[in-house]
Structure 1
Amino acid sequence: MARLIALFLIAGSVAALSGCNTMAGAGEDISKGGNALSNSAEKAK
């Protein structure tokens, strides 16, 4: 029973960490897209 609980805790930790990395990567991509739009708008002035 203790091994099963430990397995669930480890699996939950890995899932949480990978989710955070995915969201951080998505945030960076969105930020880069926003910067590209801002640069295009500045050049068009």
Structure 2
Amino acid sequence: MRRILRVTPVLALLALAACQTVQGAGRDMQSAGQAITRESQEAQSGL
């Protein structure tokens, strides 16, 4: 039981760090998608 109590905070910190990492990756992907959208709109307007 004591071992579980020691490990739980460590697992909570790892989960929190993973959430931040995934959130950051999501923002990066969103920025890339917006850049692609802008470029494609510029290419279409140039035709």
**TM-score scaled by length of structure 2:** 0.83
The total of aligned residue pairs comes to: 44
Which residue is equivalent to 2:29?
30
Q: Output the aligned Cα RMSD.
A: 1.1
Q: Which runs of 5+ in 2 are unaligned?
A: none
Q: Which runs of 5+ in 1 are unaligned?
A: none
Distance of 2:6 and 2:21 partners within structure 1 = 22
Which residue is equivalent to 1:7?
6
Runs of at least 4 residues of structure 1 off by over 6 A? none
Percent of residue pairs bearing the same amino acid type: 30
Distance of 2:43 and 2:6 partners within structure 1 = 56
Which one has the largest radius of gyration?
2
**TM-score scaled by length of structure 1:** 0.87
State the 1:6 CA deviation.
2.5
